[in-house]
Amino acid sequence: MHRPGIRRRHTLTIGWTLALLAIALFARLGFWQAQRADEKQAMLDAASRVLAERRAAPRDAAADATRAGDFDWYVARGRFDARPPLLLDNQLRGGRAGVRVYRLFAPDGAAQSVLVDLGWLPLAGDRALPTLDAPPAGEVELRGLLAPPPSTGLAVGAPLARRDGAWLMSRFDAPAIAAALGQAPAPRVLRLDPDLPLGYTRDLALLANTLPPDKHRGYALQWFALALAVLVTAVVLTLRKKFA
C-alpha cells in the first residue's frame, strides 16, 4: 500500500507540473501580445513621421525590396494599367462590410508598377460587387503613402477568383496577384492621398481592420494576470495540503 505522504507528493508533483505548463503558456501568450503591441506602435510612429514631413521618395522607391516593410511619401506621374482591378474582401468601415479597391499603376521610368489603394466601397446585402469607376485615361500624377500591403492572415481557400470583370481577393497574396496580373507589382502599395479627387472613401489609417497597440497591451495584461492567478492558486493549494 502507498503511504499518505507518498500519495500527497505524487499529487503535488502532478499538480505543479500542470500549473507550470499553464503558467508558461499564459506568459508566452502575454509576451507575444506585448511584442505585437511594440511592433504596431513602431509602425504607427514611423508612418506618422513620414506623413508629418511628406518628403517625396525617389521614383524607384516602391520597387526597393529592401524597404518592403517601411513607409515613404511618394509622388509620381504615370498611367493606370488596363488590367482588371483587385478587390480585397472582408474590409470593415463604420461597421459595414465592403471591399478595398486596387489598380495597377505604372510610374514613368520606374522599374515596377505599383498597386494603388483607391479606397473602400460597401458590399450590398447579396454581396454583389460594387460598380467601379473607370481609371483615368492618360497620364496622371498620384501622391500618397507607400506602405507594406495588408497582412495575409490565415491562408484558407483560394486567395483570389475572377468575378464580374475584377479579381476578388480573400487575402493579399503577392504570388497569386502576380500570377493573375501577369507581372509582379512592387512589394509596397500606394495608399492614395485622401485629398486627391480620385477613387473612393479612404484615409491613411494603418490599423483599420486589425487590433491597435492598446488592445494588444490589454490582452497581454490579461494573459499575465491568468499566469499569476494559476501561480497563486497552486501555492494556496500546496500550503493547504501541507497544513491539512
CA 130/CA 120 separation, integer angstroms: 10
CA 179/CA 191 separation, integer angstroms: 22
Q: What is the DSSP string of 70-135?
A: --EEEEEEEEE-SSPPEEEEEEEETTEEEEEEEEEEEETT-SS-EEEEEEEEEPPTT-PPPPPPPP
Q: What mean pLDDT is predicted for residues 161-188?
A: 90
Q: What mean pLDDT is predicted for residues 12-36?
A: 91
pTM for this model (two decimals): 0.75
Q: Where are the beta strands (DSSP E) in the chain?
A: 72-80, 86-93, 96-107, 114-122, 140-147, 160-163, 166-169, 189-192
pLDDT at position 1 over 70? no
Query: Residue 96: what pLDDT?
Result: 87
Query: Residue 157: what pLDDT?
Result: 73
Query: Residue 102: what pLDDT?
Result: 96
Domain-wise residue ranges, the chain: 4-38+213-243, 56-192
Query: Residue 185: what pLDDT?
Result: 92
The mean predicted confidence, pLDDT, of the chain is: 86
Query: Residue 133: what pLDDT?
Result: 85
CB atoms within 10 A of CB 151: 10
6 confidence band (pLDDT: 50, 70, 90):
low
pLDDT in tens, 112-132: 899 999 999 998 878 888 888
CA 189/CA 49 separation, integer angstroms: 18
